[in-house]
């Protein structure tokens, strides 16, 4: 009896939301602008639609997609793909380039931005393996039905105007290899569903409005690339940061703070790391010298203190080094400026007191606003 009461209460709540939504739509005109950023009002409208159509976590679909009985599909998975893509089309409020205009009929492999390939477990049938709607300027949200695309390996929707949250049903995308949600207006906490994608290698969440902490479990995943820059994440880098096997990691323009963990030295496959414009406050660990494959190291615009470790002079692959706008001090190790591949060394706006002459031979370097005798554009004695 109690269970039945809960069901009735749930449906009453859903109907109430529907009534409020209809009232909201009838009281104001909501035309989504194209070729530009969404207004806060438009973002709120899309989020409300997403919340309205998401059912409880045990439901399979949020939007009602009616499949015409006359449609003929090559296989059941393409039928599921049709349901997923039609639900997504319903969740799109602006498509200025009409990329989804031909999302009609049962031939889902012919839809713009949709790519099919033989199924990994059955080469005789074709299934949807990739979606690429990059630079589409599309406004809308991601419906739960996308979880029906169980053979999806690539999902690229960068440079659009999608907002809301990442659907929980993405947990069904066991074959997803690349996930690119960059340059949209997704919001909320870090989408922890990505931690449960066993095949994921490439994660790009940059230029969104995610906030809060980043789960430390992210750095235990077998990823090759992590891009989470230009969000609103705020947390200390965890001790297991160095467990990540990535070759590229970009954390720039967030609010990470605390120390750079010594475990960084365990990331021996790392080629590029960019942590600029955060709140990191510590000395650089000596273990950084273990990163023999590193080509780009950028920790500018933080609050790092102390000297540059001599071990940086052991980074034989390093091409670009940027430690500008920190509180670093001491003398620049000559071994750094003698690195065989170093092309650009920027250490301006610090408190260095010594610079070996060999640094002046670099192709590009910037030593302004330090405490270097006889060098131009240095700090005043008062500073």
Indicate whether 160 and 307 sit together in one domain: no
Model confidence over 279-293: pLDDT tens digits?
A: 999 899 999 999 999
Q: What is the CATH number of the domain that holds 159?
A: 3.80.10.10
pLDDT of residue 28: 36
Residue 118 counted as domain residue: yes
Same domain, 101 and 137: yes
The answer to the question of residue 77 being in a domain is yes
Give a yes or no: residue 95 inside a domain.
yes
Q: What is the mean pLDDT of residues 301-323?
A: 98
The tally of domains found in the chain comes to: 2
Residue 16 has pLDDT above 90, yes or no: no
Give residue 5's pLDDT: 41
Domain final position from 172, 205, 238? 205
Check whether residue 114 and residue 255 sit in a common domain. no
Q: Is the pLDDT of residue 18 over 90?
A: no
Give me the pLDDT at residue 298, please.
99
- Statement to judge: residues 197 and 226 lie in one domain: no
Task: Tell me the average pLDDT of the chain.
Answer: 88
Cα–Cα separations (whole angstroms), residue 69 to 73, 103, 108, 126: 10, 17, 16, 21
- Say what percent of the chain tops pLDDT 70: 83
Same domain, 58 and 161: yes
- Residue 81 structural domain: 31-205
pLDDT digits (tens, 9 = 90+) for 136-186: 999 999 999 999 999 999 999 999 999 999 999 999 999 999 999 999 999
Looking at the fold, whether 72 and 124 belong to one and the same domain comes out as: yes
The last residue of a domain, from among 162, 188, 205: 205
Distance from C-alpha of 295 to C-alpha of 273, rounded to nearest angstrom:
9
pLDDT at position 253 over 50: yes
More confident residue, 33 or 37: 37
Classify residue 11 as exposed, middle or buried by CB count within 10 Å of its CB (0-12, 13-18, 19+).
Answer: exposed
In a domain, 360, yes or no: yes
Place of tokens 């091409």: 319
Mean of the pLDDT values across residues 300-325?
98
Residue 12 in domain: no
Residues 114 and 258 in one domain: no
In a shared domain, residues 364 and 235:
yes
Same domain, 41 and 152: yes
Q: How confident is the model at residue 51 (pLDDT cuts 50, 70, 90)?
A: low
Judge whether residue 54 has pLDDT over 60.
Answer: no
Residue 56, in any domain of the structure: yes
Residues 191, 299 within the same domain = no
What was the pLDDT predicted at 179? 99
Residue-wise pLDDT tens digits, 117-130: 999 999 999 999 99
Domain stops at, among 183, 205, 227:
205
What pLDDT shows up at residue 38?
Answer: 59
Q: Is the pLDDT of residue 310 over 50?
A: yes
Whether 252 and 175 share a structural domain: no
What pLDDT band is residue 21 in, cutting at 50, 70 and 90?
very low
Residue 16 belongs to some domain of the structure: no
Q: What pLDDT sits at residue 50?
A: 52
Local confidence band at 62 (pLDDT 50, 70, 90 cut-offs):
very low
Does position 33 have pLDDT exceeding 60, yes or no?
A: no
Decide if pLDDT at 45 tops 80.
Answer: no
What's the pTM?
0.85
- Write down the pLDDT at residue 381: 84
Q: Is 4's pLDDT higher than 90?
A: no
Any idea what the Cα angle at residue 259 is, between residues 218 and 312, rounded to 5°?
Answer: 95
> Same domain, yes or no, for 192 and 262?
no
Instruction: Please tell me which residue, 134 or 29, carries the higher pLDDT value.
Output: 134
Query: Which tokens go with 110?
Result: 């012919």
Find the mean pLDDT for residues 364-369: 96
Q: Does any domain span residue 80?
A: yes
């Amino acid at each position: 009896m109690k269970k039945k009461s809960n069901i009735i209460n749930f449906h009453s709540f859903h109907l109430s939301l529907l009534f409020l939504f209809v009232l909201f739509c009838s009281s104001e005109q909501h035309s989504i602008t194209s070729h530009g950023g969404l207004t806060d009002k438009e973002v709120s409208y899309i989020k409300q639609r997403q919340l309205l159509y998401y059912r409880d976590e045990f439901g399979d679909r949020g939007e009602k997609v009616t499949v015409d009985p006359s449609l003929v599909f090559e296989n059941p998975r393409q039928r599921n793909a049709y349901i997923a893509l039609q639900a997504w089309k319903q969740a799109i409020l602006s498509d200025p380039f009409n990329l989804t205009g031909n999302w009609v009929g049962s031939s889902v492999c012919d839809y713009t931005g949709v790519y099919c390939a033989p199924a990994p477990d059955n080469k005789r049938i074709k299934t949807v393996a990739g979606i690429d709607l990059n630079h589409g300027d599309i406004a809308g949200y991601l419906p739960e039905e996308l979880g029906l695309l169980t053979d999806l390996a690539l999902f690229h929707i960068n440079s659009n105007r999608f907002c809301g949250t990442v659907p929980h049903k993405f947990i069904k995308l066991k074959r997803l290899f690349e996930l690119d949600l960059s340059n949209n207006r997704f919001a909320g906490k870090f989408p922890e569903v990505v931690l449960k994608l066993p095949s994921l290698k490439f994660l790009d969440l940059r230029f969104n409005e995610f906030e809060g902490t980043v789960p430390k479990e992210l750095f235990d995943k077998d990823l090759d690339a992590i891009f989470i820059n230009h969000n609103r994440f705020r947390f200390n880098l965890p001790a297991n940061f160095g467990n990540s096997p990535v070759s590229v990691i970009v954390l720039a323009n967030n609010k990470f703070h605390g120390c750079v963990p010594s475990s960084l030295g365990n990331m021996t496959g790392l080629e590029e790391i960019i942590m600029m414009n955060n709140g990191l406050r510590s000395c650089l660990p000596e273990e950084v010298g273990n990163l023999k494959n590193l080509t780009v190291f950028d920790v500018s615009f933080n609050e790092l203190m102390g000297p540059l470790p001599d071990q940086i002079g052991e980074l034989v692959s390093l091409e670009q080094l940027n430690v500008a706008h920190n509180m670093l001090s001491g003398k620049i190790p000559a071994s750094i400026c003698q690195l065989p591949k170093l092309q650009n060394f920027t250490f301006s706006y610090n408190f260095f007191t010594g610079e070996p002459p060999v640094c002046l031979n670099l192709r590009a370097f910037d030593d302004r606003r330090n405490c270097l005798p006889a060098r131009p554009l240095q700090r005043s004695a008062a500073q």
